[in-house]
C-alpha cells in the first residue's frame, strides 16, 4: 500500500484521472498474482486529497485472496479513514477494468453513491456501477424500525 498526499482536484474541480490511472498502473507491478496470472492495480483519491493505491494479493487457498480494492480500502483506513471520491483499476496491460461484484460492494461502503468510477466506457457515478446498492443506511433503517 502506498499513500501520497496530492491535490486530486484542480482549481476547476476536475479530477486528475491521468494521475490516478498512472498510479494504478504503477500499483499493478506490485501485485502478487502467481495463481491467476491476472495482476490488478487500483488507485483512488480520498475526500481529503490523498492518493491511495492497492494491488491484488493472491493466496494458495483461493478464498482468502485479497482483491486490489481490498488493499486500497486497507490503505484508506490505515491512513486516517475518509471516503473515496474517484477510483480506477487496471490490468497488467494498463487497461481500465471493472471491479468485480464483491469489490463494487466494498467500494460502495467506502465511497458511496457519489464515488466516481473510471470504467472501460468512461467515468460514471457509483450508482451506475452498483444500482440499488445495499449499504449502511439499510442497516440503520432496520435497527430504527425494530426499536
| Residues with active-site annotation | 69
> SS3 for 74?
helix
Pinpoint the alpha helices (H) of the chain. Answer: 17-28, 68-78, 101-111, 126-129, 136-145
- Whose CA is closest to 86, among 10, 30, 28? 10
First to last CA, the chain: 41
Amino acid at each position: 500500500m502506498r499513500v501520497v498526499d496530492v491535490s486530486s482536484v484542480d482549481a476547476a474541480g476536475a479530477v486528475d484521472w491521468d494521475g490516478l490511472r498512472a498510479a494504478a498502473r504503477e500499483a499493478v507491478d506490485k501485485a502478487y498474482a502467481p495463481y491467476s496470472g491476472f495482476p490488478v492495480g487500483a488507485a483512488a483519491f480520498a475526500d481529503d486529497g490523498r492518493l491511495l493505491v492497492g494491488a491484488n494479493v493472491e493466496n494458495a487457498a483461493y478464498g482468502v485472496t485479497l482483491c486490489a480494492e481490498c488493499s486500497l480500502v486497507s490503505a484508506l483506513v490505515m491512513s486516517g479513514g475518509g471516503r473515496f471520491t474517484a477510483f480506477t483499476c487496471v490490468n497488467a496491460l494498463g487497461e481500465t477494468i471493472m471491479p468485480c461484484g464483491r469489490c463494487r460492494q466494498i467500494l460502495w461502503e467506502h465511497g458511496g453513491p457519489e464515488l466516481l468510477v473510471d470504467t472501460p466506457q468512461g467515468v460514471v457515478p457509483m450508482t451506475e456501477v452498483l444500482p440499488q446498492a445495499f449499504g449502511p443506511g439499510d442497516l440503520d433503517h432496520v435497527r430504527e424500525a425494530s426499536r
